[in-house]
Amino acid sequence: MADKTFAGLSYDDVLKKYADTVAGVCVMRLQKWADAEDCFQNTFIKLFQKSPDFRSETHLKAWLIRVAINECRNYIAKNRRFLSLENLSREPVEWRDNERDVSWALMRTEPKYREVLYLYYCEQYKVAEIAEILGKNPNTVKTLLKRGREKLKQIYGGDEDEKAEL
C-alpha cells in the first residue's frame, strides 16, 4: 500500500492537499470541531481502505467531498436519537468576525444553503459540479445559491435585529 497512488498523488500528498477542503466541509455541516474531526478522519480512512481509482485530481477531490458529506450525514443520523436539535444552541463554531472571511457568515446560514455556498465560494465549484457532488438538480442548486446569497446579505448588511434572528 505504500506505493499506492490516488490520481498520481501519494496518500500523504492527498492528505496535505485536501485536508482543508475536507475539514471545511465537515465543519460547515456539523458546526462542532470534535464532531467534524471524527468525520474528517473517517473520510481519509475510507480513502486508504477502499483505494479507489480516480480519473483525475478533480475526481479525487469530488470523491473526498462526497464521502465527507456522507460521513457527516451518517454522524448526524446516528446521534439524532441522543441529541435534540431544538435543545442545541444555535451559536455556531467561533470564527474570526472578519468581513473578508465569509466562514463566520456561512456558519449562520441554514445547512441547506451553507453546503452549496461553501462549495461555490470556498471550493470554487461550478453549479453543475455542485449538483453532481450533492446529487441535486442544477436548478435546485441555483435556487439554493440565490436564497443563500439573500441570507448572507441579511447577515452582512441587515440591521442588528435581522442578524440576531439568523
Average pLDDT, the chain: 81
Residue 108 to residue 31: CA distance in whole angstroms:
10
Residue 78 and residue 143 in one domain = no
Q: Given a cut of 90, is residue 140 above it in pLDDT?
A: yes
- The reported pTM is 0.66
Residue 23 and residue 6 in one domain = yes
* 87-96 own/partner pairs: CB under 8 Å, 24+ apart: 92/31, 93/27, 93/31, 93/32, 93/33
Residue 10 and residue 82 in one domain = yes
Average pLDDT over residues 65-83: 82
Note the pLDDT of residue 1. Answer: 45
Residue 23 and residue 4 in one domain = yes
Residue 16 and residue 83 in one domain = yes
Residue 40 and residue 117 in one domain = no
Residue 119 and residue 65 in one domain = no
Nearest CA among 120, 122, 30 for reference residue 77? 30
Could you give the number of structural domains in the chain?
2
Place of cell 475526481: 59
Residues 120, 130 contacting (CB under 8 angstroms): yes
| CATH, residue 81 | 1.10.1740.10
Please give the residue range of the domain that contains residue 3: 1-88
Q: Is 95 left (phi over 0), alpha (psi -120 to 50) or beta?
A: beta
Residues 68, 22 contacting (CB under 8 angstroms): yes
The residue length of the chain stands at 166
| CATH, residue 99 | 1.10.10.10
* DSSP letter (8 states) at residue 5: E
